[in-house]
Amino acid sequence: MSDTIEKIKCLIIGSGPAGYTAAIYAARANMNPVLYQGMQPGGQLTTTNEVENFPGYVDGVTGPEMMVQLQEQAKRFGSDIRDGWATKVDFSGDIHKVWINDSIELHCETVIISTGASAKYLGLPSEQHYLQMGGGVSACAVCDGFFYRNQEVVIVGAGDSACEEAHYLSKLCKKVTMLVRSEKFRASKIMEERVRKTENIEILLNHDTVEVLGDGNVVHGIKALNKTTAEVVEISATGFFVAIGHKPNTDIFKDYLTLDETGYIINTPGTSNTNIPGVFVAGDAADHVYRQAITAAGTGCMAALDAERYLASKE
């Protein structure tokens, strides 16, 4: 551990739309925010080629470009943006202690957590290849479904979120093939019935994805294994959506903050407050419903305002 301790008025853990927006508001309120970007500077949007649904970008913008702009805007107002990630916390006292990279000890008056959530993927080499290429693999139908209008797509998943995203895609796409890896859905009955009644959704139960097919740049199909018959089938598709869940990046907080069964931080409804006074949450670390850049940015604003009011109440 470090021999020196840095005292910080407002620490922001994590970047992305939530973290950077919090930094913008906190800096403008003279809270001298320090933001550590985390293991994926810019968050999940850095893996998104095109963002067309964030207000103000008439012609769209790439995810990495948007994150650079948000970071520069935060810096413009004096935010201290740093490399590194939080590896340990101690929220047991009035002073909130955070360790960066297992070595730097920070004592913080307020902490805003914007560590986000990571989409779960199947882990296939071909899946990861096309994900990195931006050529047809996505974990967000609401974000990317627009690009597959009147095309055929495949979605893998069996829960409520998978059913919701399949139904969403059905309104845009010519055909949606839904691969369910077991013999039955995990979704609620009402969600299962919704996809079963949708004419352009084909459901293949007990099917595993074997390979994402393409020309090296873009997806043109999916190879799937029927586990009942051992038959391997090829499904024509230009898009492959993975809807098998997200894992919130909140493990280091579990001894102090109230989390739900999946690991999302539970905040007081209508605020960014956690169960620890002076610790606030923004973005996908607490949001398993919307998971959009615009909602993350909104909660980043809320967290900074809540932190400012908390500090004012302590004066």
Please list the active-site residues.
Answer: 140, 143-144
| Paired strand residues for 265 | 259
Of the candidates 155, 312, 308, the residue with the CA atom closest to the CA atom of residue 240:
155
Residue with tokens 């994590």: 14
What is the phi/psi pair of residue 11, to 5°? -105, 130
Tokens of 191: 């969600």
- Counting every residue written for the chain, the total comes to 315
Pairing relationship of beta strands 86-90 and 96-100 according to DSSP bridges: antiparallel
89 vs 112: CA distance, rounded Å? 13
220 with 56: CB under 8 angstroms? no
| Burial of residue 132, with CB atoms counted within 10 A of its CB: 0-12 exposed, 13-18 middle, 19 or more buried | exposed
Token representation of residue 104? 């730097």
Find, among 294, 297, 292, the residue nearest to 282 by Cα: 297
Q: Helix 160-170 crosses helix 189-196 at what angle (to 10 degrees)?
A: 30
- The one-letter amino acid at 175: K
Instruction: List the structure tokens of 171.
Output: 């309104």
Q: Which residues pair with 155 in a beta bridge?
A: 178, 241
Q: Could you give the CA distance from residue 180 to residue 183 in angstroms, rounded to a whole number?
A: 7
Whole-number Å distance between alpha carbons of 201 and 197? 8
- In the numeric block, the tokens 């959009």 are attached to 292
Could you count the other beta carbons within 10 Å of the beta carbon of residue 17? 31
